[in-house]
Structure 1
């Protein structure tokens, strides 16, 4: 591999750059502006992460899009989902068919598309076989403290997945390979819906019983929708499914879990989003997943109820009652 470029000086983009640099010598991170480049080049740390994680001088800090993309043969996209389109517009003319694209962005677009689908629609010279996904239980805040991380990388071609797995893995970043791009992306996106509810449960101190049941039923919903969209069932029992879900629901660093805490305190999603100034992928994902569930006729009561809460259509107390008093049924286990 000649050169790898990470697009996005986000907490995850910065963290990925640091982790991969342990194995890859020729790597750069593309910033939004020359000013941001100068600041990062001087400090080598991220303002929202522990200063224990400092980018080595071997990593190039870039702001010149044309030069950077043309020189790279692998591009990792780690930007917020709501800025993905504009970032793809900036790089599309420089992306040739031979370049490998890895999506590290979690979310669902306003059109209900997975991130790799959005990438493929903009980067028309790229084929679906050259676009993969990287996802897993990875909290950047923990990794910046020097704690180990594990993730999954998926391309439709297992040989590509294995190559990147071997190339990126180090003593602090272990990667597993797979071919289910759809499931890998959906697990990373849809878990944010459940994380919001888990935060509400913790905020209201409803207990471990309620939270464990909620997360279990949440995984059931994620799997049902995933299967309808072409994912493999086993993926949701893996790192990008259950692994990411557990991390987001049972840790205290997840942004969407924090949103749930705020909602339990009577703070609206809009108010929390404006005050915290952090990207909350779970809000848009909830609305888009709810639309997909209707379109595909998939029963997703947790997602539907969460959407109502986010839209201020029902109170949290009403939402809990709605979920607890649904028609009784046999427990459906995904076989």
Structure 2
């Protein structure tokens, strides 16, 4: 339970207690799935309005800012089974990515470590920790090579997690897509040239599969400290946007001539370890097939999120 001020009560329900920090596109799906499984779920948000929405859905809201130095709002946390850090990069916020994902994560880990038995902490990271790999295959054994600030910050966050939280697991997600989220669709429909090399690789994972991977890691007896999460079927950007244009009735994609030389994140993500270790299989193994169903199911009065920015700073 939570009070009107957003404080979590001291009453501890039987069964797992999960804390989801950042109840956005991915975090809320994970929270609702855990709730459906019978867990008690506490969701952290900065917004009172968002807190009311979470409460209406059965998630106990806890209002607080992970980037703030004061951690008093975390003082009433019960002993936790699992923590899922799913905070996204908010370009509108005054705090820097490092303030949030390194300093904020560090403060949370300190508080959680004092709250009782150490929970399993799962960090939402990104395949953006690798830069241009010239189309090569990357997996958990591939050293990070970030080219952007977001990637550098996430590498720092992963190292902090593994140095601080025993049994912590970092999940490097490929680009998320799913209901309400088909990035770059507005540009495609308007015939705006797309930036990027059309012959570079794009790695994707359906948001429901991403949420299922989080739950699989939480349930595993002895997971490894790092997994990459994708559908395992990289697709060339040229093919992906041609397919997106086809299923949405948009003009064929156009590309910025200055962006056609190889640059940026050109790699193929290999999630074999996740599949073999945990027996995980995505329900949507081919984004080119899944996107047709997404478009068909999209209500006319609820258009997809078509902005150019992807989750956690990634751009499909």
Q: TM-score, normalised by structure 2?
A: 0.47
Higher relative contact order (CA 8 A, sep 6+): 2
Greater strand proportion? 2
Greater helix proportion? 1
